[in-house]
Homo-oligomer: A and B are copies of this chain.
Amino acid sequence: MLNKNGIIPLYIQLQNIIRDDILSGKYKQEELIPSENVLSEQYQITRSTVRKAISNLVDNGLLRREHGKGSFVALQKIKYSMWNFGGFTDFLKKQGKIPYSEVIEDEVLKIGGRSYYRMMRARGLKEEHVKLLTLDTSVLPLDLFPDLNSFDFSKNSLYRTLREEYGIFPDRVEVVVSTERCTELTRKLFKMKDDDSLLKVEGTVLSKKGLEIERMSVVYSPDVDFKLITTLE
């Protein structure tokens, strides 16, 4: 139900309810949601308010209106800023896949008096077999993340740990994209036959305040579609 005296606008409350029902799977893809009149009756608010809630969800791409028919749960387009930056695990889980991660190397190292945790992981997803998709190296400053090296990142999501244990949120990345010839390791990991070039992304992950959270380098399997959505501000 809605809180009519609260500070949160009614259309926002309704919007969140419908959004959660979509994301939780209560309304399935391409399913019809209740009509504006029904919702207006059900929640005891006017149709205008219902429309405002639905309009926002349409703008967000969660719903689609069809005149004379109703409002449908829209097909979920795959949206993410970049493969693997800012949350590989979360991204795959949202797609309903089972993420797989294997720590190949890790160490604590000192550069200029500062301690860093360096970790190389092969990552991918597990279906019948494990399918590896990226080889990535992360370097994180230990003064920002004390005891980070005590987590097992073949089991834990790096970004979830940063959020939940350290309260630090990655905000943006600055990277350079290039091509790289495959090596023995990558050929083995990705089961490559040809001597193809691979896509490589190197750069820095920053917090909202511009704090350097992580330096990383990711080499992508030829099977990965490196998709990218970005605004031109």
Contacts and interface: CB of A to CB of B under 8 A. Distances in A.
A203 B227 CA distance: 9
22 contacts: A77-B233, A79-B233, A80-B233, A81-B232, A81-B233, A82-B232, A170-B232, A171-B231, A171-B232, A172-B229, A172-B230, A173-B229, A173-B230, A174-B228, A174-B229, A177-B227, A177-B228, A179-B197, A199-B199, A203-B228, A228-B230, A230-B230
A178 interface: yes
Contacts of A174: 227-229
A170 B223 CA distance: 30
A226 B81 contact: no
Interface in A57-94: 59, 77, 79-82, 85-87
Interface residues of A, number: 34
Question: How often does this chain occur in the complex, in copies?
Answer: 2
Contacts of A79: 232-233
B177 A231 contact: no
Contact of A232 (B48, B173, B176, B197): B173
